């Protein structure tokens, strides 16, 4: 079993049986697993981040109203098919995880309408690893009880990213 397949299997166990799952009790009883795109090796990238100097805190709207505060950490550029794309990576704390909220051409049809998230990992040489096969739906994709950051305009692209989680058919909205 590949590392991605193991990750997905563990996530399905968590969603289907853990009390901390974003699913309601009723959803967990009906749960048969999350839906994923097939692994797309071409949607994993080693990238050199263009760090944002002296980034001021930025407020990002959340799905329930209000905002959450974070900081722009870096810009990353890569190609999706023949389309060059630049997105902003965020970080809440100096040593916190690298967070990429994005909305792509699959949103509202194949994936959650608001967008999805993916975490990046720093590499020893200072580059980052971005693997869209690990893109996931925010918890608000499963029910409206959750507040989720909305991908900012700078992270909305028209190109479809067919990797990671698909829309959840048993969402409560």
Instruction: Kindly indicate the confidence band of residue 173, based on its pLDDT and cuts at 50, 70 and 90.
Output: low
Residues 118-129 have a mean pLDDT of 96
Enumerate the domain spans of the chain: 40-155
Over residues 72-123, the pLDDT tens digits come to: 999 999 999 889 999 999 998 777 899 999 999 999 999 999 999 999 999 9
CB 153 within 8 A of CB 60: no
Residues 128-153 have a mean pLDDT of 94
114 — phi, psi (to 5°)? -70, -35
From start to end of 81-157, where are the E strands? 83-91, 98-102, 116-122, 128-131
137 — phi, psi (to 5°)? -80, 145
Residues 163-170 have a mean pLDDT of 92
């Amino acid at each position: 079993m590949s590392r991605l397949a193991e990750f997905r299997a563990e996530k399905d166990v968590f969603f289907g049986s853990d009390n901390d799952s974003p699913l309601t009790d009723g959803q967990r009883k009906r749960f048969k697993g999350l839906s994923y795109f097939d692994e797309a090796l071409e949607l994993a990238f080693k990238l050199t981040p263009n760090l944002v100097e002296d980034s001021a805190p930025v407020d990002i709207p959340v799905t329930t109203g209000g905002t959450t505060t974070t900081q722009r950490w870096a810009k990353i550029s890569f190609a999706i098919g023949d389309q060059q794309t630049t997105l902003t990576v965020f970080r809440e704390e100096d040593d916190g995880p690298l967070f990429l909220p994005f909305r792509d051409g699959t949103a509202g049809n194949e994936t959650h309408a608001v967008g999805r998230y993916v975490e990046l990992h720093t590499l020893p040489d200072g580059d980052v690893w971005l693997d869209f096969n690990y893109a996931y739906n925010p918890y608000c994709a499963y029910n409206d009880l959750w507040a989720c950051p909305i991908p900012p305009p700078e992270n909305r692209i028209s190109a479809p990213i067919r990797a990671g989680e698909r829309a959840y058919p048993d969402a409560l909205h």
